Every structure is written in structure tokens, then in C-alpha cells.
Amino acid sequence: MKLANNLSLLPIQREGGGTLNLVLAWDDTSLVLVDAGLPKQGEIIATAIKKEGFDPRKLTHIILTHQDIDHTGAVAELQKMSPGLKVVAHIDEAPHIDGRALPIKLAARLEEYDSLPPEGKEGINAWRDFYESHPIEVHHKVTDGEVLPICGGIKIVHTPGHTPGHICVLFEESNIMVLGDSANVQDGEIVGFNPVYINDMDEAERSLAKIKSHNLNGVVAYHTGFMGGI
């Protein structure tokens, strides 16, 4: 689904229901994906990219809004298709992506490990095994306000709360912001993300206000999709 001259929405269905809303941007020399879905979704994402008229083997960048596995899961699969693919993430998020520190949600679940039922332990073990076997090198560690000089300008907006290094991605040419999990769209409004999944509520509220301070043409929320006409 095309959102602007050089921007498309890639809705990726997840097993068990729900949609993950990735974004693809391009210019004459760059092909950029924002977020990378779940493990084993690489081929599905590649097919979605092809439907937009592009070769997934020519991906140049993946910008990760944050560390969660439903945003980082298919990075390794996509890098096999495009070996020169560069990963971009916030400097505070990078340790939880590249293996220097556990993802925050995984660390919290491991603290509860002994009290979990067998099926819960099985899920945590699989999550930890995947994480330990798929460290992701972050090639470019970004900070708030940094602008990547590609695709008409891609501005990094640091929006902590859901995780400490969460970012939104503002495509300056179209004035459309990718929200990741910092906010949702609901009933024609930008609203806060589910509090159950927030790491720091005070930070999340400040980040929501920061998002709303922008005069945008549209937003893409990872779990609730595109909203224009803001």
C-alpha cells in the first residue's frame, strides 16, 4: 500500500491473528525497511517488498524502532538475502539487540522463571535460545534528532517508555512518522500504547506528547496501521 511517492506500508499477517505494519522507503540508491517482523517471516516480508516493485536483495538498511522480537525477528533472514544490509537502531537500544544485554522483557520473564508452568518455561527457553543464536550487529547507532540523508531525509525521534531506546522514524519528505510501539491509532486519534507493555510510564507519556507536538501528514503504528489526515 503506497503512502507517499517513496513510502509504502507492508502489512504482515502474524500467526494467530493480528498485523505487523512494516514500512518501506526508497530513493535512487537506498531501499529502507523499518522493523523486521517475527522470526521465520523473512520470505513473507520479501514477497511484500516484491509486490511493491522492489528486489529484497537490494535492501540497504533496516531501521529498528526497538529491541522486541516481533520487530527484530527476521533481520538475519533478510541479511542472508542482502548481505550488505545495514542495521540502524538507537544507541541505548543497541546492547539489547547485539547480545551485550538481554532484551528487557526476556530478562523480566527470566526473573519469574521458577514460578512458571512447564509450557511457560518452554516458551521462555525458546525465546532465549533464539536471542542467543541470533545476535544482530547494529551498524549505525543513532541519537535523537539525527537525520539520515537518504529517502528525502529520515529523522530519528527518540521516544523512550516502551523501551529505553525506542525511536520513531520521521520521513521528512512526506511528513509521515512511523511510531513503532510508542503509540497506537484508535478512533482517528493517536493514543498511548497498552500500559501492560510499557517499561516506564512517565517516559511513555512524555514521548506521546512529543509525538503529538509534530504537525504530521500521517502516522504508522506497528500494530494498528496507518492514519492520515491528522
- Average pLDDT rounded to a whole number, residues 136-160: 97
Q: Is 47 helix (H, G, I), strand (E, B) or coil?
A: helix
Band of residue 195 on the pLDDT scale cut at 50, 70, 90: confident
- pLDDT above 80: residue 156: yes
65-86: average pLDDT:
95
Q: Find the Cα–Cα–Cα–Cα dihedral 226, 97, 69, 191, rounded to 10°.
A: -40
Q: What band does 5 get if pLDDT is binned at 50, 70 and 90? A: very high
pLDDT range class, residue 14, cuts 50, 70, 90: confident
**For the chain, how far is it from start to end, CA to CA, in angstroms?**
19
Count, in order, helices (H) and strands (E) of the chain. Answer: 7, 15
pLDDT tens digits, one per residue of 25-73: 999 999 999 999 999 999 999 999 999 999 999 999 999 999 999 999 9
Assess whether pLDDT exceeds 80 at residue 230: no
% of residues, the chain, pLDDT over 70: 100
Tell the residue number behind the cell numbers 522492489, with chain if given.
Answer: 54
CA-closest candidate to residue 83, choices 58, 65, 63, 64: 58
The domains located in the chain, with CATH, are 2-99+135-228 (3.60.15.10), 103-134 (no CATH)
Query: Taking 90 as the threshold, does the pLDDT of residue 197 lie above it?
Result: no
Q: Are 162 and 41 in contact (CB under 8 A)?
A: no
Angstrom distance (rounded) from CA 98 to CA 39: 16
